């Protein structure tokens, strides 16, 4: 293998640049030509591909986002679109790909690899920490700390005005951010997609907590079955029927995606990037380079895509114990 390329796809995550840097410099270290594909699969189709050098990735390890940009590509979902993408890869003489992203990115990579025989290894880049085959995903720790900092600030105003705040964090299908920032931020309740928490349960808990606390924080993952934070707050207000309680909603939104990556995300991104390139050189394909118990592990794309990464039940128990 003489030429490889790297791209980012799906939602951006802090630490992606550290991973890009690692892929480029590891490739050069092993005498490979390394190319960067701009705008994910869309750029692959359009031939937006450029040669990368050591200086191309200088001074990016500390930056959020992705220097290679990211974009959705409906065309890549079609056989014709994937054929165009492969033709561009072939045109540049690229013999292997490193795909940085989540399960959607890996799904596309797996299909492309199987259809055209191009070796692909993935790096887990998503703030949701919901990819099977790695203890942590690139971007999760930074997003968690961003959410935690916001919760700390909201708690100050909640305490000052004796308010009940419903704080919505990202997590359409996964409650990792909600649970961990709930524990770290001292939340009284956490609502996540993985477990069912009825409005009646929330009302009962808040009424019980009111006997010992004048303010409360409820962290809501955006994908909770009862709805987002605003919808849940309205349901609780209607059910609790107490005009003396002051309810507020804060939605953290995309601030969780931005910001300088933490040391943990920079190191994780670097580690995964090196492992991806060396995996390609060893003949591996259709797998993700992740870290489990401080060791590099290669997990088949099919497992990454189809297998769930369950929340630790101990986390939910911690919140229950510590909220009293």
Q: What are 217-246's pLDDT values in tens digits? A: 999 999 999 999 999 999 999 988 777 889
* 323: confidence class by pLDDT, cuts 50, 70, 90: confident
pLDDT for 203: 94
Residues 274 and 80: their CA atoms lie apart, in Å, by 32
Helical residues (DSSP H) of the chain, grouped into ranges = 16-29, 40-46, 79-91, 103-116, 140-161, 176-184, 199-209, 229-240, 263-281, 301-306, 313-322
**255-292 tens-digit pLDDT:** 999 999 999 999 999 999 999 999 999 999 999 999 99
Mean pLDDT of 124-136: 97
Three-class SS of residue 39?
A: coil
Averaged confidence pLDDT in the chain: 96
pLDDT at 171 over 90: yes
pLDDT for 273: 98
pLDDT at 154 over 90: yes
pLDDT at 312 over 90: no
Catalytic one of 128, 130, 224, 265: 128
CB 1 within 8 A of CB 282: no
pLDDT for 217: 97
pLDDT for 294: 96
Mean pLDDT of 8-19: 97
Confirm whether 12 is a catalytic residue. Answer: no
Task: For 31, list phi and psi in degrees, rounded to 5.
Answer: 65, 35
């Amino acid at each position: 293998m003489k030429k490889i390329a790297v791209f980012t796809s799906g939602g951006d995550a802090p630490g992606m640049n550290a991973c890009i840097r690692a892929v480029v410099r590891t490739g050069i270290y092993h005498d490979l030509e390394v190319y960067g594909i701009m705008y994910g699969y869309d750029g692959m189709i359009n031939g937006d591909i450029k040669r990368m050098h050591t200086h191309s990735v200088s001074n990016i390890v500390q930056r959020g986002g992705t220097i290679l940009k990211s974009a959705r590509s409906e065309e890549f979902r079609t056989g014709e679109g994937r054929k165009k993408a492969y033709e561009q890869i072939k045109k540049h003489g690229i013999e292997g790909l490193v795909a940085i992203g989540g399960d959607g990115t890996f799904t596309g990579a797996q299909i492309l690899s199987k259809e055209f025989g191009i070796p692909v290894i993935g790096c887990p880049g998503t703030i949701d920490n919901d990819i099977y085959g790695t203890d942590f995903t690139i971007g999760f720790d930074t997003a968690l700390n961003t959410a935690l900092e916001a919760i700390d600030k909201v708690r100050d105003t909640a305490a000052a005005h004796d308010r009940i705040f419903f704080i919505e964090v990202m997590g359409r299908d996964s409650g990792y951010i909600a649970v961990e920032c709930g524990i770290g931020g001292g939340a009284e309740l956490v609502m996540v997609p993985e477990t069912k928490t009825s409005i009646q349960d929330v009302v009962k808990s808040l009424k019980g907590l009111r006997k010992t606390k004048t303010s409360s924080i409820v962290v809501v993952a955006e994908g909770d079955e009862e709805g987002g934070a605003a919808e849940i707050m309205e349901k609780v207000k209607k059910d609790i029927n107490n005009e003396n309680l002051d309810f507020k909603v804060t939605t953290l939104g995309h601030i969780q995606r931005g910001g300088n990556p933490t040391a943990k995300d920079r190191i994780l991104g670097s580690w995964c990037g090196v492992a991806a390139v060396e995996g390609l050189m060893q003949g591996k394909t259709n797998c993700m380079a992740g870290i489990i118990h401080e060791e590099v592990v290669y997990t088949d794309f099919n497992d990454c895509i189809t297998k769930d990464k369950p929340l630790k039940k101990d986390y939910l128990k911690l919140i229950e114990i510590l909220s009293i």
